[in-house]
């Protein structure tokens, strides 16, 4: 028994996965043998409550009812178990509950529960080990990345905005205020959800830590990241952000010490996606944070954002580690809308602290001694910081520049343009996918010269309700080798980007049944809408 525990213990502590009907061997051993002391040790360690994300099945089929309906049914089902939800992720059919490990096992074995995972904490990825790092270097590498030259073509536009999911931002900072998106459809301070997006008084984005409509920074990390992206330019004050003609949406999901729950990150991502759905032109989300295990809830949220043409730029991490071996999330999530960013120092070499990965880290950007806006309560208005947290917003800002330079491109096209235009560095060849440092001038010029391709977008509904998990297949009538398969998100939406010009057949399969296919003619670079409505 002792030897078994030696082998199995890592499984208990490191895995976040509680497969339904599969009890860990250690648990079965505990129950079958009840071997006194060893089990008692394990049980003591696991007896403490932890936060879990519990995802319920939607019912007999894949046709979802309203958000309110599942929510009240989920809460009722938890009540049957004597549990109370402490938070809800309405777009994910999930609730957050505090559970003991053995109770989590019981919950995960229920037939009406689809998934249970730990609601882990993620962290801001500022490099804080070396306080003197902030006193060295300059913006020399930044000018090396060509941002100021790219401004001859564009400084960004309000049509390509960046959502900053972080510790918030100093909303009244004189060098940020003018760049922060304001929700014109929400009346401040009247305790009403005027725009009916589910969040009360969210005039400047939302604070998912304190659950209020004011994402004011109380840490400083988010203010610094926001300033790198879009500090107000040409105002005779302080600094200018990479895309100072653009706007940022401030969403707070990290607390005053720079840490936050995965569930808060998921809700922050959904908040940005919902804004996009109603026409707020968010092209990119920046997440200078990471940690935890691979969260399925997080994956699904990023996928939902991707289906609405929002990219995710994420910091690769500051452990000097190989992400191919030790993945860091969200940067290492396997989705084609993500860019994982390593940091280079002022010499343009991979920074000592930066994570890397020949297969999982896409490119590098300046991340050493970066000057940006500071939380004014810290006594200064600007400060230098280092970390992949500072590299990621450079890439987010340059994506906003490229998207502004050619607004007809989809975000996924802009991502491809940026990846193909990095400035090669020998030291980055074996440790990143692109082998280079982000190059603003090349990216913006390439964006201007790129032919936009159509995107096919639509919703699948049955009896006026969204159908999730429907398989949508696009096959070409011209090219027998071309076919794309995507699945609909919970809101029933699907999106197929970069469709070459030509004639296509779009077909849908729902719960094993085929729906009559439709013809699609992709003749112009625009979003082609095709909705499917199932009546029987
Ligand atoms: Ca609102
Ligand atoms: Ca209001
Ligand atoms: Ca707040
Ligand atoms: Ca300024």
Residue 299 clears pLDDT 60, i.e. is over it: yes
Question: HEC profile for 295-335?
Answer: CHHHHHHHHHHHHCCCEEEEECCCCCCECCCCCCCCCCCCC
Residue 374 Cα to ligand 4 middle (Å): 13
Instruction: Judge residue 523's burial from the number of C-beta atoms within 10 Å of its C-beta, 0-12 exposed, 13-18 middle, 19 or more buried.
Output: exposed
Residue 21 clears pLDDT 60, i.e. is over it: no
Closest-lying ligand to the alpha carbon of 212? 3
Residue 188 Cα to ligand 2 middle (Å): 5
Mean pLDDT score, 346-352: 91
Residue 215 Cα to ligand 3 middle (Å): 5
Query: Which residue among 92, 115, 119, 166 is the active-site one?
Result: 166
Closest-lying ligand to the alpha carbon of 216? 3
Residue 93 Cα to ligand 4 middle (Å): 43
pLDDT digits (tens, 9 = 90+) for 186-239: 999 999 999 999 999 999 999 999 999 999 999 999 999 999 999 988 888 888
CA 446 – CA 2 distance, rounded (Å): 61
Query: Which residue among 94, 288, 340, 389 is the active-site one?
Result: 389
Q: At 108, is the pLDDT very low, low, confident or very high (cuts 50, 70, 90)?
A: confident
For residues 456-481, b (16+ Cβ closer than 10 Å) or e, as one string? Answer: bbbbbbbeeebbbebbbbbbbeeeee
Residue 182 Cα to ligand 1 middle (Å): 12
The whole-model pTM stands at 0.75
Beta-carbon neighbours within 5 Å of ion ligand 4: 175, 232, 235, 237-238
Query: 525: which 2 tokens?
Result: 């670079």
Beta-carbon neighbours within 5 Å of ion ligand 2: 186-187, 190, 192, 194, 201
Query: Which residue among 108, 202, 207, 221 is the active-site one?
Result: 221
Closest CA to 259 of 85, 120, 378: 120
Mean pLDDT score, 15-36: 35
Closest-lying ligand to the alpha carbon of 183? 1
List CB contacts of 128: < 8 A, sequence separation 6 or more. Answer: 387
Closest-lying ligand to the alpha carbon of 195? 1
Residue 498 Cα to ligand 3 middle (Å): 39
Query: 407: which 2 tokens?
Result: 């607004």
Q: 3-state DSSP call for residue 504?
A: strand
Closest-lying ligand to the alpha carbon of 155? 4
- Residue scoring higher pLDDT (67 or 527): 527
Write phi, then psi, for 423 (nearest 5 degrees).
-90, 115
Is 152 designated active site? Answer: no
What pLDDT, on a 0 to 100 scale, did the predictor assign at position 436? 96
Residue 444 clears pLDDT 50, i.e. is over it: yes
What pLDDT, on a 0 to 100 scale, did the predictor assign at position 525? 67
What pLDDT, on a 0 to 100 scale, did the predictor assign at position 36? 34
Residue 497 clears pLDDT 90, i.e. is over it: no
| Lowest mean per-residue pLDDT among 102-116, 266-280, 354-368 | 102-116
Which residue bears the tokens 């990095």?
422
Residue 182 Cα to ligand 2 middle (Å): 13
Residue 240 Cα to ligand 1 middle (Å): 30
What pLDDT, on a 0 to 100 scale, did the predictor assign at position 319? 94
Is 389 designated active site? Answer: yes
Strand partners, 519: 505
Residue 252 Cα to ligand 3 middle (Å): 8
pLDDT digits (tens, 9 = 90+) for 366-384: 998 899 999 999 888 899 9
Q: 3-state DSSP call for residue 386?
A: strand
pLDDT digits (tens, 9 = 90+) for 271-281: 999 999 999 99
Closest-lying ligand to the alpha carbon of 255? 3
Q: 3-state DSSP call for residue 80?
A: helix
CA 221 – CA 226 distance, rounded (Å): 9
Mean pLDDT score, 350-371: 95
Residue 378 Cα to ligand 4 middle (Å): 19
What pLDDT, on a 0 to 100 scale, did the predictor assign at position 141? 40
Residue 20 Cα to ligand 4 middle (Å): 54
Average pLDDT, the chain: 83
Residue 214 Cα to ligand 3 middle (Å): 4
What pLDDT, on a 0 to 100 scale, did the predictor assign at position 66? 54
Closest-lying ligand to the alpha carbon of 217? 3
Is 166 designated active site? Answer: yes
Residue 205 Cα to ligand 1 middle (Å): 9
CA 435 – CA 271 distance, rounded (Å): 33
pLDDT digits (tens, 9 = 90+) for 249-296: 999 999 999 999 999 999 999 999 999 999 999 999 999 999 878 999
What pLDDT, on a 0 to 100 scale, did the predictor assign at position 523? 78
Mean pLDDT score, 293-322: 96
Residue 404 Cα to ligand 4 middle (Å): 20
What pLDDT, on a 0 to 100 scale, did the predictor assign at position 483? 87
Residue 252 Cα to ligand 1 middle (Å): 15
Residue 223 Cα to ligand 4 middle (Å): 14
CA 46 – CA 54 distance, rounded (Å): 18
Closest-lying ligand to the alpha carbon of 381? 4
Closest-lying ligand to the alpha carbon of 214? 3
pLDDT digits (tens, 9 = 90+) for 428-437: 999 999 999 9
| Lowest mean per-residue pLDDT among 8-17, 88-97, 117-126, 156-165 | 8-17
């Amino acid at each position: 028994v002792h030897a078994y525990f030696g082998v199995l213990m890592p499984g208990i502590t490191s895995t976040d996965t509680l497969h339904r009907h599969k009890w860990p061997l250690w648990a079965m051993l505990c129950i079958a043998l009840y071997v006194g002391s060893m089990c008692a040790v394990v049980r003591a360690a696991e007896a403490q409550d932890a936060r879990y994300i519990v995802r319920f099945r939607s019912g007999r089929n894949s046709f979802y009812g309203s958000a309110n309906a599942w929510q009240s049914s989920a809460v009722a089902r938890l009540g049957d178990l004597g549990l109370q939800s402490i938070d809800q992720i309405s777009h994910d059919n999930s609730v957050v509950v505090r559970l003991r490990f053995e109770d989590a096992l019981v919950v995960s074995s229920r037939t009406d529960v689809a998934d249970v995972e730990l609601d882990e904490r993620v962290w801001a990825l500022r490099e804080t080990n070396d306080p003197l790092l902030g006193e060295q270097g300059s913006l020399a590498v930044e000018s090396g990345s060509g941002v100021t030259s790219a401004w001859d073509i564009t400084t960004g536009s309000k049509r390509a905005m960046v959502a900053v999911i972080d510790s918030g931002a100093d909303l009244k900072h004189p060098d940020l205020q003018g760049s922060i998106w304001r929700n014109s459809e929400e009346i401040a301070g009247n305790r009403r959800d005027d725009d009916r997006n589910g969040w009360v008084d969210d005039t400047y984005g939302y604070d998912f830590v304190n659950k209020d409509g004011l994402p004011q920074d109380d840490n400083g990390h988010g203010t610094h990241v926001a300033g790198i992206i879009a500090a107000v330019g040409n105002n005779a004050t302080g600094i200018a952000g990479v895309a100072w003609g653009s706007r940022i949406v401030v969403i707070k999901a990290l607390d005053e010490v720079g840490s936050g729950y995965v569930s808060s990150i998921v809700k922050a991502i959904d908040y940005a996606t919902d804004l996009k759905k109603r026409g707020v032109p968010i092209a990119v989300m920046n997440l200078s944070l990471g940690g935890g295990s691979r969260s399925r809830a997080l994956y699904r949220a990023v996928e939902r954002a991707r289906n609405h043409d929002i990219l995710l730029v994420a910091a690769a991490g500051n452990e000097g580690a190989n992400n191919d071996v030790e993945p860091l999330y969200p940067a290492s999530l396997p989705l084609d809308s993500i860019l994982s960013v390593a940091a280079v120092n002022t010499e343009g070499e991979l920074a000592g602290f930066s994570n890397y990965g020949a297969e999982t880290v896409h490119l590098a950007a300046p991340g050493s001694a970066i000057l940006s806006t500071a939380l004014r309560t810290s006594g200064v208005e600007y400060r230098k910081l280092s970390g992949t947290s500072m590299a990621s917003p450079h890439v987010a800002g340059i994506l906003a520049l490229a998207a502004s330079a050619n607004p007809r491109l989809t975000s996924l096209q802009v991502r491809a343009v940026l990846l193909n235009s990095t400035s090669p560095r020998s030291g980055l060849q074996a440790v990143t996918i692109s082998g280079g440092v982000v190059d603003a001038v090349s990216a913006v010029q390439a964006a201007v010269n790129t032919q936009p391709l159509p995107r096919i977008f639509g919703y699948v509904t049955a009896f006026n309700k969204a159908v999730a998990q429907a398989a949508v297949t696009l096959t070409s009538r011209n090219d027998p080798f071309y076919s794309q398969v995507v699945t609909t998100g919970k809101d029933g939406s699907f999106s197929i980007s970069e469709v070459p010009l030509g004639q296509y057949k779009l077909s849908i399969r729902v719960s094993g049944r085929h729906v009559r296919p439709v013809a699609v003619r992709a003749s112009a670079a625009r979003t082609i809408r095709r909705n499917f409505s199932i009546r029987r």
